[in-house]
């Protein structure tokens, strides 16, 4: 579904201490992968804790269009009867991935080595995002690609019947590129190899191993080398989706900046490839405890206890960027309430997300009285411990920009507005209710 809904202007106001339990939704990355691997397996995959955000619902619909039997059994509880590796059938209509980069890029990979054709579209935001980073390696397998100018959607892929194995070094740190290649490699005889200079989120590797694929990762002088043996029989598995650290970041940030707050956020994934924000917050002096560390659904998780307190500016090294790539918008809000300068390095990829997130955050922070500086691949925020507020941020169909500015408004001196909160439903449909439940004044 593309975003045809009307823009929804929203406002957040200075709030009293936030208290309570913030039960955030299932991890978006893992939810997409559970549906896709379920669809490529033999047997029934039962998923619990699936994120029912629009991005993931679009992937569920796409898996049904490729021939899997996908059924919602209850809240977050889904069943997927897969068709097996190489078993996708040609979809009748266009595959509309809405706002989701993960959805479209992973699904293009998953079908490119099966001899069927499919056309992919998305909303205005997704249609601006670069796709050649995925279609170029898919062409190396032998798939035929037709894209709009600049390698943009809509894209038609004619999958290849006799694919060649591929060894590919990713040009930018991207789990979506890596995952698209690995999913394509499933239906290829021999080894598919992806080499990345910086490790990126490893949910695909973990889940492929869990479904029975032969996949190994080595750290060599050449980088991080992932090798997949093609044509495995993937066996359906139960998947318990852990809670999303990227969604948890919003109530965590709110508790850190609203005086007197103390909240608990249970069962959040602490996968080291996703943990960069939490590492950074501890360096800033944040009061966060990680209680009951345990394993759930093949991922390390913990219960977070977060308390308001003073924060100081820090420099975030470029090597950490991949492990917190979706958290820079909310980190820049937290940084505005810290004392001192926060520099975020190596963040050029933010310019090709749902919006140009460096530009969107810089303009919105300026509109609310915060001093910022940007380069092509860095963002600097001058923290003064307080934020005047009173401005309106333009969100450009970007859920994380929308949520970040609403959190800003909870501790700013004057209310903060956003032009459109509708895209929040792509990743965190219950965001407003959850935040109001903690005592936040927003809506
Ligand atoms: O693989 C994934 O699930 C994701 C990878 C990241 O994108 P890139 O691979 O483009 O960095 C991230 O920004 C996105 O939200 C989810
Ligand atoms: C970048 C994001 O998602 P995607 O690339 O899947 O659209 C995100 O959720 O912040």
Q: Over the stretch 109-142, which tens digit does the pLDDT of each residue have?
A: 999 999 999 999 999 999 999 999 999 999 999 9
Give a yes or no: residue 3 inside a domain: no
- Count how many domains the chain has: 2
Residues 264 and 408 in one domain: yes
Query: Would the CB of 99 count as within 6 Å of ligand 1?
Result: no
Give a yes or no: residue 4 inside a domain: no
Average pLDDT over residues 367-373: 98
- Residue 326 is among the residues annotated as catalytic for this protein: yes
Give a yes or no: residue 170 inside a domain: yes
- Of 175, 200, 229, the residue at which a domain comes to its end is 229
Mean residue pLDDT across the chain: 97
Ligand nearest to the CA of 176: 1
- Report residue 327: phi and psi, to 5°: -100, 0
Mutate to test the pocket of ligand 2, among 62, 354, 403 (most ligand atoms within 8 A of CB): 354
Residues 262 and 225 in one domain: no
> What digits encode the pLDDT tens for the residues 30-77?
999 999 999 999 999 999 999 999 999 999 999 999 999 999 999 999
Are 165 and 190 contacting, i.e. CB atoms less than 8 angstroms apart? yes
Residues 214 and 264 in one domain: no
Ligand nearest to the CA of 133: 1
Question: Given pLDDT bands bounded at 50, 70 and 90, which one contains residue 5?
Answer: confident
Give a yes or no: residue 64 inside a domain: yes
Residue from 326, 359, 377, 419 carrying the catalytic annotation: 326
Query: Would the CB of 105 count as within 6 Å of ligand 1?
Result: no
Q: What is the pTM (predicted TM-score) of this model?
A: 0.98
Residues 194 and 317 in one domain: no
CA distance 176 to 135: 12
Question: Given pLDDT bands bounded at 50, 70 and 90, which one contains residue 371?
Answer: very high
Give a yes or no: residue 263 inside a domain: yes
The atom of ligand 2 lying closest to the CA of 103 is 6
**Domain enclosing residue 286, as ranges:** 10-26+245-442
Residue 297 is predicted with a pLDDT of 76
Are 120 and 143 contacting, i.e. CB atoms less than 8 angstroms apart? no
Residues 279 and 375 in one domain: yes
pLDDT at 319 over 90: yes
Dist. CA 244 → ligand 1 center (Å): 13
Average pLDDT over residues 397-422: 98
pLDDT at 1 over 50: no
CA distance 274 to 246: 8
Site of tokens 């980069």: 101
Residue 4 is predicted with a pLDDT of 53
* Ligand 2 site, CB within 6 A: 100-102, 326, 353-354, 400, 427
Residue 2 is predicted with a pLDDT of 43
The CA–CA distances, whole Å, from 180 to 105, 110, 314, 324 equal 6, 7, 34, 20
ipTM for the complex shown: 0.99
Residues 173 and 265 in one domain: no
Give a yes or no: residue 238 inside a domain: no
């Amino acid at each position: 579904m593309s975003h045809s809904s009307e823009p929804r202007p929203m406002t957040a106001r200075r709030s009293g201490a936030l208290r309570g339990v913030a039960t955030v939704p299932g991890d978006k990355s893992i939810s997409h992968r559970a549906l896709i691997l379920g669809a490529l397996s033999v047997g029934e995959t039962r998923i619990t804790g699936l994120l029912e955000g629009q991005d993931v619902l679009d992937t569920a619909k796409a898996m049904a269009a490729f021939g899997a039997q996908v059924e919602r059994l209850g809240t977050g509880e889904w069943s997927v009867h897969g068709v097996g590796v190489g078993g996708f059938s040609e979809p009748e209509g266009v595959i509309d991935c809405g706002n989701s980069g993960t959805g479209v890029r992973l699904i293009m990979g998953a079908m490119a080595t099966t001899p069927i054709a499919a056309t992919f579209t998305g909303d205005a935001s997704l249609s601006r995002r670069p796709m050649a980073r995925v279609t170029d390696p898919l062409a190396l397998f032998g798939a035929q690609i037709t894209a709009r100018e600049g390698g943009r959607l809509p894209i038609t892929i004619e999958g290849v019947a006799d694919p060649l194995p591929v060894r590919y070094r990713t040009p930018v740190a991207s789990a979506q590129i890596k995952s698209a290649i690995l999913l394509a490699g499933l239906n290829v005889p021999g080894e598919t190899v992806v080499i990345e200079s910086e490790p990126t989120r490893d949910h695909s590797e973990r889940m492929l191993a869990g479904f029975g694929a032969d996949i190994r990762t080595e750290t060599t002088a050449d980088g991080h080398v992932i090798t997949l043996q093609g044509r495995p029989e993937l066996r359906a598995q139960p998947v318990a989706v852990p809670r999303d650290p990227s969604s948890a970041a919003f109530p965590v940030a709110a508790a850190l900046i609203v005086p007197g707050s103390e909240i608990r956020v249970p069962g959040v994934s602490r996968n080291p490839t996703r943990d960069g924000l939490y590492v950074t917050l501890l360096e800033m002096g944040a009061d966060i405890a990680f209680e009951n560390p345990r394993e759930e659904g093949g991922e390390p998780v913990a219960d977070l206890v977060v308390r308001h307190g003073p924060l100081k500016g820090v420099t975030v090294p470029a090597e950490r960027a991949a492990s917190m790539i979706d958290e820079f918008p909310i980190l820049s809000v937290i940084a505005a309430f810290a004392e001192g300068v926060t520099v975020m390095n190596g963040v050029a990829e933010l310019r090709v997300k749902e919006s140009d997130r460096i530009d969107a955050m810089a303009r919105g922070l300026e509109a609310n009285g915060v001093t910022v500086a940007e380069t092509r691949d860095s963002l600097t925020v001058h923290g003064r411990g307080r934020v005047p507020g009173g401005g309106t941020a333009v969100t450009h169909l970007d859920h994380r920009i929308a949520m970040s500015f609403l959190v800003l408004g909870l501790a700013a001196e004057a209310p903060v507005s956003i032009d459109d909160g509708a895209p929040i439903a792509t990743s965190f449909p219950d965001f407003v209710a959850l935040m109001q439940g903690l005592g936040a004044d927003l809506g």
